Amino acid sequence: MKKVFVAMSGGVDSSVTAALLKKQGFDIVGIYIKPWQSNNLFFDCLWQEDREDAALVAAKLNIPFLTWDFSREYEKDVVRYMINGYQSGITPNPDVMCNKYIKFGLFLDKALKQGAEYIATGHYARTKNRELLKSKDLTKDQTYFLWTLTQKQLKHCLFPIGDYHKSDVRKLARKFGLPNWDKKDSQGVCFIGPLNIKDFLKNHIKEKRGKIILDDLMVGEHDGIFYYTIGEKITVNSSPYFVIGKDLKKNILYVSDKRENRPRKEFRFTSFNLIGNGIHFPLNCQVKTRYQQKEIKAVLKKGKAELEEFLFDISPGQSAVFYRGNRVIGGGIIQ
């Protein structure tokens, strides 16, 4: 039997992943990846509860269960990346880096060294011939966060629930008798959990008050320019606004009373990762610059994307992910 190490988070998706693979005849080992620990007691309690849920599922499935402590690596490669990104004025995407460095970096490497032929996660995605494809349930598709994967990694990756809709996955969890079948889906950043990002950042970046400007007019004060992202809706003196720009040197936050502002028909990106063969530039494709954003047509060139229509609130630091139909071409980090 082929051995598969399954990243079990304690949630329904990864639990059903393990159950499906065991049913298919694989030799399964469940792994709980211990995340970075903040000083927040609630978060410390949360990861221990998740680990216990994962252990109970492993016991139900009668599979070995291990805990791998990657907390130091989380802090170095994901937490620091996120904090430094906000401090530099961009909007980083820690979930992408969590996948790149932790799940499909450390976890994959260690699993292969310990005899696994594959790793599996509860991501809503699919693979075929070492290509990354969207999941069957497009409303849950998570390929946006997986654009850093390579064919060498995809060769060893399984995403069993990518062939199911979310509602069917929960039904399977109940059918398999998994003890966490009715557990609510987790929310929030990979290592923070359901905590407010702004509250998290305030523990690591000092507050520094400054002006909020609308059309050259000061409408209020912000408590720290680093806490805000482009396109974010904020309330200033009981009035709603949208963040459209930041001047770090002057410590000014620029806002608009309209959501659609600063339209762009092209943008540049770095750290491009190309998945698969047969790609030639320029390339007609579709692009997303935010998760669950509507895809728009684009022409992909080296280091630049030209859009067919205007796109608003493009945030430096976020991921741009390129598609051709259901296939993920690759992605990069917006400049």
Q: For 75-99, what is each residue's pLDDT tens digit?
A: 999 999 999 999 999 999 999 999 9
CA distance 315 to 104: 25
CA 188 to chain centre: 10
Spatial CA neighbour of 151 closest among 6, 320, 270, 277 = 277
Q: Decide if 243 is inside a domain.
A: yes
Instruction: Please state, as a whole number, how many other Cβ atoms lie within 10 Å of the Cβ of residue 45.
Output: 10
pLDDT value at residue 41: 46
Angle (CA) 147 17 24, round 5°: 115
Tell whether 225 and 143 lie within a shared domain. Answer: no
Q: Which two tokens stand for residue 219?
A: 């409408």
Looking at the structure, tell me whether residues 32 and 48 fall in a common domain. Answer: yes
Is the pTM here over 0.85, yes or no? yes
Distance CA 166, CA 141 (A): 10
Q: Which residues are catalytic?
A: 98, 190
Q: Both 140 and 9 in a single domain?
A: yes
Range from 62-66, 182-186, 282-286 carrying the lowest mean pLDDT: 182-186
- Tokens at 65, concatenated: 């269960």
Same domain, 272 and 129: no
Is the same domain home to 38 and 148? yes
Residue 199 lies in a domain: no
CA atoms within 13 A on the CB side of 22: 19
Q: What are the tens digits of pLDDT across the range 26-81?
A: 999 999 999 887 665 445 557 889 999 999 999 999 999 999 999 999 999 999 99
Positive or negative torsion for Cα 307, 310, 314, 316: positive
Q: Each residue of 240-281: pLDDT tens digit?
A: 999 999 999 999 999 999 877 778 999 999 999 999 788 889
Exposed, middle or buried, 251 (CB in 10 Å: 0-12/13-18/19+)? Answer: middle
Domain boundary among 152, 175, 198: 175
**Domain around 102:** 3-175
Of 101, 62, 55, the C-alpha closest to 81 is 101
User: CA Rg, the chain, in Å?
Assistant: 21
- Tally the residues of the chain: 335
Give 249's contacts (C-beta < 8 A, 6+ positions apart).
none
The answer on 231 and 320 residing in a single domain is: no
Q: Which parts of the chain fold into alpha helices (H)? A: 12-23, 41-61, 71-74, 80-87, 94-97, 108-113, 151-154, 166-175, 197-202
Domain identity same for 115 and 251:
no
Number of domains in the chain: 3
Alpha-carbon distances of 46 from 40, 74, 115, 159, 191, rounded to whole Å? 10, 16, 31, 25, 11
Say whether both 151 and 237 belong to one domain: no
